[in-house]
Amino acid sequence: MSSMLQMWSGSPSSADAPPPFTWRGKTAVPVEFKRLDLSLSIDVPGKRGTGRARIPFAVTQRGAPLMDMVPSPTRLELDGRELAPATFPEVEPPNGEAKVRVLDVELDPGQEHVLTIDYDLAPATLSFESGGARLAFFMTDLEQRGYLEQHAPANLEFDQHPASVNIRLVGAAKEHHLFSNGRTTRTQDGWSVQFPAYFCSSSYYLHLTDRDFHVSEDTFQTGAQRIPIVAYGTRAAETVDAIRIAKKVITELEAEYGAYAHEDLTIYVTDDIDGGMEYCGATMTVLGALEHEITHSWFARGVMPGNGNSGWIDEAIASWRDAGYRSLEPNPRRAPVNLAAFPPYRRHTPIAAYREGALLLAEIDFLSKQRGAGLRQLLRALYAQKQHKQITTEFFKQFLETQSGLDLTAMFDRFVYNKSGPEFVPFDVLAEGRSMTIDAVRELQSAVPHVVRHRPFTRQELNSLR
């Protein structure tokens, strides 16, 4: 790995994990993955894909291990002992905000266990065309269970660990291409991809396709490093434009916040489908949202949210930057907002983060400038301290207060935790934990014009983009 990737240090912190809960007389407890190794086999003539995950892990306290995966397991093995697939059911935490899976055994902390899971790759992950296969770990942060758990066994967002994916492609009648944000090696019958230790469940980008995309490549010089940039899409001119825009905005953001945090940059230009999604050192996006998505390589996938109640921070920062870093005198009478007072197993970002979150940052910028440094200087310090690490809303508030000398309790109570009035939900009702339909997207765009180019891809669109 590059020297930038080696800046990450420390292990995942179980302190940021959601709390255990009682289930079937047991305590369901979060786990810490030591690593995740996936082996995927794709049989093109048979139109079937299978996966095997090997997960060394440890429980955070005595109880039944808790993690997640949307596909149903076909075979389980724990420490060499086979278990029935029904031993790993989907479970709703007490607030019912998102399903997880719990392994119906009790384990003690202080020991490493190995869980092996076999499963079939779902239509949301894999599809087949004539003589070819299309596989994608595409993600969304505006729906529950929208990260790696859609495609494979995964831990919750608090846990950072190394991972690998080995892909075996059988019987393909045409050439395939693999795009990823890991270190990729071609093997005799497929590919091997190694991902760095700072990745979590929202980090991974993997796209195997038989489509004949146009590909543009360049490098960006940053200090002593040369960052490779790959842009691909259906229109050659747009891939060239994507690299030009990327180099411009990386130059801007490096001057503003510090050096680019990833080993390379992969851009999938989605042409006529408006929307965008960020990954660590990668994005799939329409050109009009590219600057916004690259900003997330600093905040979202550089400084990373540790849970669903912290995902508003990076959308607020990127949207504040999109709007020209406005500085506004605070208005204590504006409507209360819920950005981070959701149940602990929630894993998606509130739509209000784009506008109301950016407005809050504009007001904090106004106040911090009265004390000296503006918010951008504070964010630069945050990036320097927490690059490749995770933050929570509570940490973010304390950091800003320590750096600025401000007391932000009243502002966060009203405009982050919604403690001063009825819940503010004019936008979240459109996307609160369910798949976005085309009609819902149009309604969202009408209600919040600022997010027109940054709105989520629908499931139908994600499938078509493979």
Confidence of residue 454 (pLDDT cuts 50, 70, 90): low
Cβ atoms within 10 Å, residue 198: 26
The share of the chain scoring above pLDDT 90, in percent, equals 78
State the pLDDT at residue 453: 52
The answer to whether the CB of 231 falls within 8 A of the CB of 242 is yes
**Structural tokens at position 114:** 């190995």
**Structural tokens at position 356:** 């109301």
State the pLDDT at residue 63: 98
CA 266 to chain centre: 15
Cβ atoms within 10 Å, residue 10: 10
Mean pLDDT value across residues 99-111: 96
Mean pLDDT value across residues 2-25: 61
* Residues β-bridged to residue 115: 55, 78
Domains 5-209 and 214-295 share a fold: no
Burial class from Cβ neighbours inside 10 Å (0-12, 13-18, 19+) for residue 329 reads: exposed
Q: What does the mean pLDDT of the chain come to?
A: 89
Which ranges of 374-431 does DSSP label H, i.e. alpha helix?
375-386, 393-404, 409-415
For the sheet with 177-180, list strands across it. Answer: 126-129, 132-136, 206-209, 177-180
- Cα–Cα distance for residue pair 95/374, rounded to 1 Å: 39
Q: Per-residue pLDDT tens for 190-207?
A: 999 999 999 999 999 999
- Cα–Cα distance for residue pair 420/441, rounded to 1 Å: 30
Residue 307 has pLDDT above 50, yes or no: yes
Which one has a higher pLDDT value, 459 or 295?
Answer: 295
Q: Per-residue pLDDT tens for 245-261?
A: 999 999 999 999 999 99
The answer to whether the CB of 431 falls within 8 A of the CB of 143 is yes
Confidence of residue 41 (pLDDT cuts 50, 70, 90): very high
State the pLDDT at residue 222: 80
Mean pLDDT value across residues 337-356: 92
Q: According to the CATH classification, is domain 304-434 in 1.10.1740?
A: no
Residue 118 has pLDDT above 90, yes or no: yes
- What is the chain's alpha carbon radius of gyration, rounded to the nearest angstrom? 22
Residue 443 has pLDDT above 80, yes or no: no
Q: According to the CATH classification, is domain 214-295 in 3.40.50.2300?
A: no
Mean pLDDT value across residues 24-39: 97
Any residues with CB less than 8 A from the CB of 397 and at least 6 apart, and which?
Answer: 408, 409, 412, 416
Residue 426 has pLDDT above 90, yes or no: no
Which ranges of 61-191 does DSSP label H, i.e. alpha helix?
none
Cβ atoms within 10 Å, residue 416: 25
Which one has a higher pLDDT value, 5 or 405?
Answer: 405
Mean pLDDT value across residues 265-276: 90
Residue 40 has pLDDT above 60, yes or no: yes
Q: Which CATH class is domain 5-209?
A: mainly beta
Which ranges of 43-177 does DSSP label H, i.e. alpha helix?
none
Mean pLDDT value across residues 442-456: 51
Confidence of residue 421 (pLDDT cuts 50, 70, 90): low
Residue 442 has pLDDT above 60, yes or no: no
- Cα–Cα distance for residue pair 89/67, rounded to 1 Å: 11
State the pLDDT at residue 419: 87
Strands 48-59 and 36-43: antiparallel
The answer to whether the CB of 378 falls within 8 A of the CB of 396 is no
Mean pLDDT value across residues 420-434: 43
Residue 347 has pLDDT above 60, yes or no: yes
Q: Per-residue pLDDT tens for 144-169?
A: 888 999 999 999 999 999 999 999 99
- Cα–Cα distance for residue pair 166/152, rounded to 1 Å: 13
Q: Which helix (H) or strand (E) holds 118?
A: strand 113-120
- Cα–Cα distance for residue pair 416/350, rounded to 1 Å: 11
Mean pLDDT value across residues 356-380: 96
- Cα–Cα distance for residue pair 129/115, rounded to 1 Å: 33
Residue 83 has pLDDT above 80, yes or no: yes
Which one has a higher pLDDT value, 350 or 440?
Answer: 350
Q: Per-residue pLDDT tens for 369-395?
A: 999 899 999 999 999 999 999 999 999
Residue 366 has pLDDT above 80, yes or no: yes
Confidence of residue 434 (pLDDT cuts 50, 70, 90): very low
Residue with the two structure tokens 């027109």 = 452
Q: Return the closest-CA partner of residue 307 out of 338, 337, 346, 341.
A: 346
State the pLDDT at residue 462: 84
The 8 Å CB, 24+ separation contacts for 136-139 are 136/206, 136/207, 136/208, 136/209, 136/462, 136/465, 136/466, 137/204, 137/205, 137/206, 137/207, 138/207, 138/277, 138/284, 138/457, 138/462, 138/465, 138/466, 139/202, 139/204, 139/277, 139/279
Residue 102 has pLDDT above 70, yes or no: yes
Q: Per-residue pLDDT tens for 125-135?
A: 999 988 999 99
Sequence spans of domains, the chain: 5-209, 214-295, 304-434
The answer to whether the CB of 137 falls within 8 A of the CB of 462 is no
Residue 432 has pLDDT above 70, yes or no: no
The share of the chain scoring above pLDDT 70, in percent, equals 89
For residue 281, the one-letter residue type is G
